[in-house]
Structure 1
Amino acid sequence: MNRNRTQALSVADLDLASPDGPVLSFRPAPGGPPAVAGDVYALVRLRGRPAATVLGHVPEGADPAEVLAALARPRLTRPAGEPEASGGEPEDPASAPAASAGETAASANEPAAPANGSAVPSDRPESVPPRASVVVATRDRADQLARALDSLLDQDHPDYEIVVVDNAPRSSDTEQLVANKYGGRVTYVREDTPGLAVAHNTGLAHARGEVVAFTDDDVVADPHWLTALTAPFAADPRLGCVTGLILPARLRTPAQILLESHGGFAKGFAPRLYDPLRPPADEPLFPFTAGSFGSGANMAFRAWALKAAGGFDPATGTGTAARGGDDLYAFVAVLSAGFRLRYTADALVWHHHRETWQDLRNQAYGYGAGLTAYLTATLVRRPALLPALLARLPRGLVYAKNMTAHREAAGGGVPGEHGAPTHPWPRSLSRLERRGMIYGPIGYAKARLRMRGAR
């Protein structure tokens, strides 16, 4: 595949009054250039709430907002129970999400947004969100960190703090940035042991909030992000974790577009509740398909629940030989401890995907390694789960094979659309993912040995 054929896309943010109503606002993704003409990828909101994504071509001289709104309306007004062409189980009309993509609620009693968008679904409680701490782990990326912190300081949450964990820094740039620009508003903590999970555990130890949210230094958080991510904890005492929607801030290079086409970080727009007491019928590999629960750039935990589950495994994550898997491990650890996990698209961050082909190669390998590293960590630290994993192993191998498969361009759909792998994935990247999966357990073992040596 000629990766240079992939054309740049503008990224926009479109807000509609209702599925068939007028345009309320149209703007570029945070910090991006205006979308005027050409191919445009857009988030579609209904009165501010994320509802769908669309991809369309805007002709020269046309109103981009109206062109994209026309493309979005059929997705927003599809009759309840009618799945997308990509497949999926029909839903009960009483619990149809605002933008159906063949997704179903994980529990039968978990209503999603109605098709007309007129009611408030159960994933946005009216209760006051609990006090929160936001932990941002970073390493030598002060410019990106500043962009993220500016958005985090602009949240509408009533009571929160921000903790920056400077992980094994090679310079004092991050410390100086926090002291000079954010002094008194952001807490700086230095952690010299490399590894994202170690940094997250350090942030958890310094956090004073009832709920601890984690995000990355390469995101821009929507102003309502933290409120939407933490409010569900006030409404559900059994909730241990909440994850949110991650959309691309830029799609200007072939590598960025391919990553998003492979699924990116998006998990759809239907709210989901994962309950270990009521395993979802549409996920026979539950809870081991942790990648479907969310991603580390947008997650929050009830602080005592995460601590009770043992926190993050320090031998996982970026910066270790395991290459990743720290977030996946934490999701399964919290579920295994009996807590519930909720996904809500209302909690939105815009992610700056890496731009180069080598970055994408590294990510493909890291995703594969992180997957099997986290599974290894789960079995090492929670051996009681071994029978459940062995019972799911045959299906799991098929799932992994399909997830990493080479795909030719099939057309249709939207890059990153949850559950619709209709976009290309080069054979070279498919091979790298699978090589990473073979390496993952070895990487985890190396990381554990290094951690013991460091202690």
Structure 2
Amino acid sequence: MAGRRRARQEIQRFLDTEAVQVAELDLAEGEEPVLRPGPGGPPVTSGPVFVLVRRAGRPVGTLLARVPEGADPARELASRAGALGDGRPSGASSAPVPRPPAATVVVATRERAAQLGRALDSLLAQDHPDFDVVVVDNAPVTGETRELVERKYGERVRYVCEPVPGLAVAHNRGLAAVRGEVVAFTDDDVIADARWLTELTAPFTADPRLACATGLILPARLGTPAQVLLESHGGFAKGFTPRTYDPEHPPADEPLFPFTAGRFGSGASMAFRTAVLRAVGGFDPATGAGTPARGGDDLYGFVRVLAHGGRLHYTPTALVWHHHRETWRDLETQAYGYGAGLTAYLTAILVNRPALLPAFLARLPRGLAHARGLTAVRDTDGGGAPGGHDERTHAWPRRLSRLQRRGMLYGPVGYLRARHAHRAAVRGTR
């Protein structure tokens, strides 16, 4: 009885979650603040607003504020932004961004032509001086994606088809088609900031040992309870402080390094030095969405290049806006998939790099404690909607925590099933 009552309370809290506007506020020194709605959103009005604050165009932080009825949104939000940032993200260099290397952007997709078109429009508007775009149509059942690319984008976007299902398989197919020194990956449900590719790839010029870079991911919309809840618990963002992870100098504050790869970034905004990613064999085809493993392909890639001796750099000025999933059912699927993907990628790492087993076993006790923390029922730190990425403004439902734990138990089995399924699928396409 108590369990059912608690479940009803959680559902009601979820349904009562208020929608939040998304906006950008640019605070260029000596100029009036410029307020813009988030990508594709309506003009900002009164009510709660999730704001990306920029200074001279550079992202420096986020905040949540409520614009009173009748107030000027730009002035109200500028007064709340205060001293957020100092003209550049914490720890960022004031030196000019180096010329980025030639790059190829790979977008894997499956039967989502409308979303894909929106993403491609933003990618073709990048200010990067030398790049091309490859769309990988993964296990298509219609010709919609190919028709869109050929009709609307012509020679500006290359189309390739990968008949074997799975995100990692699709990424490997894209990797084979790469022409640039750096390969960047993003998803078909994002809108890329105009400087995303330049900011993401420029660090490769400055650091010859850099193997991977990841970027900032913020919500494009917070219009449903599911979207607000996900972002309230951090979403995909990793903050506004640049950071370099070096396997020769493991970070003292990351005792599980490099196995907590989820801290490094996410697949919607990641780039690799092409030669390095090819040298480690690309992504494990038995990981990722579209396989029984459910996910983990991006995390696998991060750990593989770190284990190969390369550095990884998180770059908060490389921004994409992500369209979070919209429904409670989506959240359930996502929670289970995150748990499964986490343990599936760890299984993949140990299967493909057994030499890492001693290091993994040494970190296992702390890893189990970390896993318990990831799947704990997380209380709220206050009311409202997401602001900073270190605060929780909505309780994380027990059902989602249970689903994540179940997914973690399933992950190794899912990975083994995915390996079997991939072999069968490859045989079937020969």
TM class, shorter-chain normalised?
A: over 0.9
Q: Which amino acid aligns with 1:45?
A: R
**What corresponds to 1:120 in structure 2?**
94
Alignment of 1:128-147 (within 5 A): 128-147=99-118
- The residue identity in structure 1 corresponding to 2:54 is R
Alignment match of 2:26 (pick from 5, 15, 24)? 15
**Contact preservation (8 Å) 1:293, 1:343:** yes
Q: Identify the residue that residue 59 of structure 2 maps to in structure 1.
A: 50
SS at match of 1:362: helix
CA contact (8 A) 2:33 2:78 kept: no
Instruction: Give the Cα separation in 1 of the matches to 2:388 and 2:298.
Output: 21
Which amino acid is 1:9 matched to?
V
> Would you say 1:39 and 2:45 are equivalent positions?
no
Secondary structure of the equivalent of 1:311?
Answer: coil
TM-score after normalising by structure 1: 0.89
Deviates more, 1:417-426 or 1:263-272: 417-426
Deviation at 1:76, TM superposition (A): 3.1
The residue aligned with 1:248 is: 219
1:23, 1:369 → 2: CA distance? Answer: 48
| Residues 33-182 of structure 1 mapped to structure 2, 5 A cutoff | 33-76=42-85, 112-113=91-92, 120=94, 126-182=97-153
Q: Any unmatched runs of 5+ in structure 1?
A: 78-96, 101-111, 114-118
- 1:176-210 CA deviation, whole Å, 9 max, x = no partner? 00010001110000000000000000000001010
Q: RMSD value over aligned CA atoms?
A: 1.6
One-letter amino acid matched to 1:195: G
The 5 Å alignment of 1:271-286 reads 271-286=242-257
C-alpha distance in structure 1 between counterparts of 2:64 and 2:33, whole Å: 19
User: What does 1:263-342 correspond to in 2, within 5 Å?
Assistant: 263-342=234-313
What residue is the counterpart of 1:378 in the other structure? 349
What is the identity percentage for the equivalent residue pairs of Structure 1 and Structure 2? 68
Which structure 2 residue ranges, 5 or more long, are not aligned?
1-9
In 1: Cα distance, 2:286 partner to 2:386 partner: 32
Residue 63 of structure 2 contacts residue 388 of structure 2 at CA under 8 Å; is this kept in 1? no
Q: Distance in 2 between matches of 1:41 and 1:233?
A: 32
- SS of 2:164 mapped into structure 1: coil
Confirm or deny: 8 A CA contact 1:195 1:316 kept in the other structure: yes
User: The residue matched to 1:307 in structure 2 has which SS?
Assistant: helix
Q: What CA distance in whole angstroms lies between the structure 1 residues aligned with 2:68 and 2:33?
A: 21
Counterpart of 1:13, as a letter, is E
Measured after TM superposition, the shift of residue 405 of structure 1 is: 1.1
* Contact preservation (8 Å) 2:381, 2:394: yes
Alignment partner, residue 6 of structure 1: 17
Amino acid at match of 1:28: P
Give yes or no for contact 1:309–1:337 (8 Å, CA) kept in 2: yes
Contact 1:317–1:326 (CA under 8 A) maintained in structure 2 = yes
The DSSP-based 3-state class of the residue aligned with 1:296 is: coil
